[in-house]
Structure 1
Amino acid sequence: MQKALLLENIHPLAVANLKARGFEVVTTSGALDEDELIAATQDVSVLGIRSKTHVTQRVLESSPQLETVGAFSIGTNQIDLQAAADRGIAVFNAPYSNTRSVVELVIGEIVMLVRHIPQKDRLAHRGIWDKSATGSHEVRHRTLGIVGYGNIGAQLSVVAEAMGMKVIFFDPQEKLAMGNAERRHTLNELLAEADIVTLHVDGRKENTGFFGEAQFSAMKDGAMFINNARGHVVDLDALYAAIKSGHLGGAAVDVYPTEPKKRGDAFDTPLAEFDNVILTPHIGGSTEEAQENIGRFVSGKLIDYIKHGDTSLSVNLPPLTLPWTEGIHRIAHIHRNIPGVLAKINSTLSELGVNIESQVLGTRGQIGYAVTDVADWVDEEVLNVLRDWDETIRLRIMG
C-alpha cells in the first residue's frame, strides 16, 4: 500500500479520496521544517502541502520513494520545481479552486477601506461613538488598479466593475481585458491613476521586493493598497513608512514575508499600530468552499498521476492527458530531453518482444515524458534495460 502524507490541515475530502483509492494517509495540522519533512517522507509516495511547508532540493533528494507533490493552494513557490522535475517528481497545484474566495475578500477589503470601517470599528470597541460621513465614500466611480491580471485579477475585474468601479490593470504579458477594464502599459501609469491598488502577482523569486518605496511614492495621495498575493513581493518597511507619513489612506495585508508555521503561533508586525490597516492571517483562499474544491481537485490530480501517469496541469513535467483503458499496462518513462530517446524506447521494446498498442510523448524544457501502452505485462528484464539508460530519470509501470 502506497503512503500519502498530508500537512497543514488539508481538507478531509482529500484524505477520503486518497483512502478510497487504496492509499495509507497520514495527516498533520501544522507545517514541518526541512529536517522534520525529510524524516517524515522516507516511505511516502505522495506529499500534500499548503503554503508553509517548503519542499527544498534537499528534501526531494532525501525522499527516495516520493513520486508526486500536491500544493493545495495556487502558489508553488514553496516547492523547488526544477529539483522535483530533475528527479521525475510531478508537482500539481490548484490554479482555479480558490479564485472566487480571494476575489470576495478583496472586494470586502475595498469596501471596508473606502468607508473607513477599520477605524470606526476600533473606536466602537473602545466605547467611542464616531457617527460621521467625513472621509467615507462609495466604491462606485472609484478607480481600482489591478497589478497582475491572471485568474484572480481578471475575475476581480468583473466583480468590481459590476459594483460600478472603473477598472484599470497592468500585466507585463498580453492579457484579454474583461468587460470595460482598461490596460495600462506601465506600472507607474496605473499607480498615478488608481484610488485602490491591489496586487495579484505570482510568488517567483524574481518578484521579491517588487513593490517598494518607489512604487508607494508613485501612488496617489490618500490611495489604498491591498496585498493578498505573496508576502515577499512587498517591502513592508516601505508600506509602514507610506502609512505613517499619511501618504496612503489605508491598506489591507493578508500575506507576509515571514509567517507563523501553524494556527495559534505568535505573530507580530509593525503595521498593527495603524487603525487604518486591515491585517488577516493568510486567509485569502480559506473558505470552506475553496478548501473543499482544492481538496477534491488536487487529490484527484495526485491519484490520476500515481494510478495512470496523467500529468495534465502539472506545473513542472510535460503535461499529458492520458485516458485509461482497463486491461492495458502502461510504461511511463521520464527522461532527459535529448534527441532519439523515443526511437530508442521503441527499438528496445521491439527487440525484447513487447508489442506497442499506443504511445505519446511530451517535452518541457530539459524533461521528456514518454508513455507507452502495451497489452501484456512487461518483463522485469525490459524495465531494467530502460532504467539503466543514462537518459532515464524515472521509470514507472501501471496496470
Structure 2
Amino acid sequence: MSTSGSSPQRPISKKGPFRVLLLENIHVSAQEMLSAEGLSVERLSAALKPEELAERLQGVHLLGIRSKTTIPPSVLAKAKDLLAIGAFCIGTNQVDLPAANQHGVPVFNAPFSNTRSVAEMVLAEVVVLTRQLFDRSREVHTGQWRKVATGSHEVRGKTLGIIGYGHIGSQLGVLAESLGMRVLYYDVMTRLPLGNSRPVATLAELLGQSDFVTLHVPATPSTHMMMGAEQLAQMKPGACLINASRGTVVDISALAQALRSKHLSGAAVDVYPEEPEGNSDGFVTELQGLSNVVLTPHIGGSTEEAQASIGKEVATSLLKFFKSGATTGAVNFPNVENPLIPGTHRILNVHRNTPGVLRDINRIVSDLNANIHAQVLSTDSNIGYLVMDLDQDVSQQVCEAIASLSTDIKTRIVS
C-alpha cells in the first residue's frame, strides 16, 4: 500500500507481518481464520472512541468492528496503513462510507449470517406479545397469580406486516406462515414473494391491515423516524409493533404515547436511537414500565451460531481482499474479483476517477516493457479500482511508478 508520493510495500505474502485489529468482542472464529493466514491479530472486547481508534490504527492493515464503533473521516484520514474494514454485522452506517471510498478503503459486512437469529427472535416476540407472557411472568415473580384469558390470543390466522422484505424479512415471512399467519410486506424495491406472502402498494395499507408490524429496514434518511405519530395512528387498534432493525426508524415518544393510550396493545423493541457503549452503562427509555412491552438490549443477532457465522463470513471477505484484491460484497467500492494467475504479481491501484488515469498507467507499463497477463478497471463516481497481473520481474518498478502519479490513492502488490 502507498499514498500519493510514497513508495508502495514490497510484494505481499500471505505470511507477511501484517496486523489486524478486531474490536467489540468479535467472535473468535474470525481471529482463528485470520491468524491461520499468518496475520498478527489483536482482539479487544470493547469499542474505541474515534480519537483512541485513530491512534490504535497506526500500522494496522485490517480493522474489524461491530455496531458500537464509529469511523468518521478524521479517523480514516489518519489511518494511512488501513487496507479494509470489516463490519461484523449487517449495518454499515457506523462507518462514513463515502470517506472510506475516497481513502481507498473498502468496507465489507455480513448481510446473511444472522438473518435466522433475528427472524426467530421476532417470531418469538409475536407469540410473547399476543399472550402477554412477559407481564404474566413478572407478576408470578412478584407473587401475583393472574390466570386470565382476556387479551390473550393465538397467532394462527393473524396478519403479520413486514416492512422491509430483504434477507430477514423474507425469512421471517416463511417462518410466520408455518404458524398459520397471513403475511403482508411493504418494500420500496420490487421483491419476489416467498410462500404465500403478499406485497402491498403503500405503507398505510400494510399498517391498516396488520395485527403485528415488524421493521427490517436500514438506517437511511428515508427511513429516519418512518414510524412516527401519524404512522402509529394508522395501525389497527390493538396491534403490536416490533422493531429489531435500527433505533432511528421509530419515534420512541410517539410509540410510548400510543401504548399509554391503548391504541397499541404491545411492542417489542431491540434497538434504540441512543444506546449505551458498554454493558456496564445504565440505560433509560420512555418505554420502561409500560405493560406488554418487551425491551431487549440489541440482541437480535446475538446467538452463538450467528456470531460464529458472521466471524467467518466477514473474515473470508477480508482475506480475499487482502490476498487477491477481491472486493465482491464491498458496500462502498467497485466490485471486482479475478483469480490470481500463477507466476505473476498483481498490482492493486485505487485512484481518483479523473480522465487520463488509465492512459498514464498504460504508458508506464509500455515504457517499462511489462507484459500484462490480465487487467480489469472498475469505477464509480469518485474512484477507479485497477487490478493488473503482470510479470514478476518488473512488478515493483511498475507499482512504484503508478504510486507516484498525482491521482494515486493507494497502490500495493500481492503475489
TM-score range, shorter chain: over 0.9
Task: Give the AA of the match of 1:99.
Answer: T
Q: Is the 8 A contact 1:8 1:262 kept in 2?
A: no
1:133-144 aligned within 5 A: 133-144=149-160
Deviation at 1:339, TM superposition (A): 4.1
Partner residue in 1 for 2:190: 174
SS at structure 1 position matched to 2:149: coil
Secondary structure (helix, strand or coil) at the match of 1:390 reads coil
- 1:367 aligns with 383
Residue type at the aligned position of 2:205: E
- Aligned pair in 2 of structure 1 residues 78, 205: CA closer, same or farther (>3 Å)? farther
Q: Which residue of 2 aligns with 1:90?
A: 106
Match of 1:266 among 260, 277, 282: 282
2:272 and 2:234 map into 1 onto residues whose CA distance is 22
Q: Kindly report which structure 2 residues correspond to 1:312-323, keeping only aligned pairs within 5 A, or say none.
A: 312-323=328-339
CA offset at residue 336 of structure 1? 2.4
Moved more, 351-360 or 319-328: 319-328
- How far apart, in 2, do the equivalents of 1:141 and 1:16 lie? 46
1:229 aligns with 2:245: yes
Normalised by the length of structure 2, the TM-score is: 0.93
After TM superposition, the structure 1 stretch with the greater mean CA deviation from structure 2, 279-288 or 347-356, is 347-356
DSSP 3-state at the match of 1:172: coil
Q: CA 1:99–1:35 in structure 2 vs 1: closer, same or farther (change >3 Å)?
A: same
Corresponding residue for residue 256 of structure 2: 240
The equivalent residue for 2:8 is none
Q: Does the 8 Å contact 1:46/1:66 carry over to 2?
A: yes
Alignment-mate amino acid for residue 162 of structure 1 = S
How far apart are the structure 2 equivalents of 1:378 and 1:76? 39
Which residue does 1:99 correspond to in 2?
Answer: 115
- 1:10 aligned partner: 26
Partner of 1:208: 224
Q: CA deviation at 1:360?
A: 1.5
- Counterpart amino acid of residue 234 in structure 1: V
**Amino acid aligned to 1:82:** P
DSSP 3-state at the match of 1:191:
helix
**Aligned pair partner of 1:35 in 51, 55, 59:** 51
Pairing partner for 1:149 from 153, 158, 165: 165
CA distance in 2 between partners of 1:323 and 1:97 (Å): 25
Residue identity matched to 1:56: P
Write the distance in 2 (CA, Å) between the matches of 1:389 and 1:205.
37
The answer (yes or no) to whether the contact 1:330–1:372 under 8 Å persists in 2 is yes
Q: CA deviation at 1:269?
A: 1.4
Asked whether the equivalents of residues 29 and 262 of structure 1 are also in contact (C-alpha less than 8 Å), the reply is no
Q: Distance in 2 between matches of 1:248 and 1:46?
A: 46
Partner Cα distance (1:214, 1:365) in 2: 38
Q: Distance in 1 between matches of 2:206 and 2:398?
A: 60
Deviation by residue 1:101-156 (Cα, 9 ceiling, x = unmatched): 00000000001001111111111111111222221111111000001111111111
Q: Deviations over 1:171-218 (max 9, x none)?
A: 111111111111111111111110000000101244221211111111
| Structure 2 residue aligned with 1:117 | 133
Q: Residue 126 of structure 1 aligns with which residue?
A: 142
Specify the alignment match of 1:188 in structure 2.
204
Runs of 5+ consecutive residues of structure 1 not aligned to the other structure: none
1:74 corresponds to 2:111 = no
2:392 corresponding residue in structure 1: 376
Aligned to 1:355: 371
Contact 2:345 2:395 (8 Å CA) reproduced: no
Q: Tell me the TM-score normalized by structure 1.
A: 0.97
**C-alpha distance in 2 between matches for 1:269 and 1:161:** 33
Quote the residue 1:276 is aligned against.
292
CA distance in 2, matches of 1:342, 1:316: 21
1:231-280, Cα deviation, whole Å (9 max, x unpaired)? 01111111111111111100000001111112232122121111310011
Distance apart, 1:12 and its partner CA: 0.4
Aligned partner letter, 1:356: I
What residue identity is the alignment partner of 1:302? Answer: L
Distance in 2, matches of 1:210 and 1:392, equals 41
Partner of 2:309: 293
Paired letter, 1:189:
E
- C-alpha contact (below 8 Å) 1:122/1:275 kept by paired residues: no
Q: Distance in 1 between matches of 2:36 and 2:393?
A: 25
Deviation of 1:340 (Å): 4.0
Counterpart of 1:197 (choices 201, 207, 213) is 213
Q: Give the CA deviation at 1:314.
A: 0.7
Larger RCO, structure (CA 8 Å, separation 6 or more): 2
1:53 Cα deviation after fit: 0.4
Query: How big is each residue's C-alpha offset from its partner over 1:157-181, in whole Å with a ceiling of 9 and x where there is no partner?
Result: 1111121110111111111111111
- The sequence identity of aligned pairs, in percent, is 49
Partner in structure 2 of residue 51 of structure 1 = 67
The answer as to whether partners of 2:20 and 2:39 remain within 8 angstroms in 1 is yes
Opposite residue 110 of structure 1, the aligned amino acid is V
Q: What is the identity, as a one-letter code, of the residue corresponding to 2:226?
A: F
Residue 22 in structure 1 maps to residue 62 in structure 2:
no
Q: 1:398 to 1:220 in 2, by over 3 A?
A: same
Cα distance in 2 between the residues matched to 1:113 and 1:381: 66
Give the CA deviation at 1:379. Answer: 5.0
Query: Which amino acid in structure 2 is aligned with residue 96 of structure 1?
Result: F
1:162 maps onto 2:178 in alignment: yes
Partner secondary structure for residue 258 of structure 1: coil
Q: Which amino acid in 1 is paired with 2:88?
A: F
Q: Secondary structure at the match of 1:378?
A: helix
SS of the residue corresponding to residue 48 of structure 1 reads: strand
Identify unmatched segments of 5+ residues in structure 2.
1-16
1:257 matched to 2:269? The reply is: no
* 8 Å Cα contact 1:14-1:295 kept in structure 2: yes
Using the TM superposition, name which of 41-50 and 262-271 deviates more.
262-271
1:330 matches 2:346: yes
RMSD over equivalenced CA pairs, Å: 1.3
SS in structure 2 of the partner of residue 70 of structure 1: strand
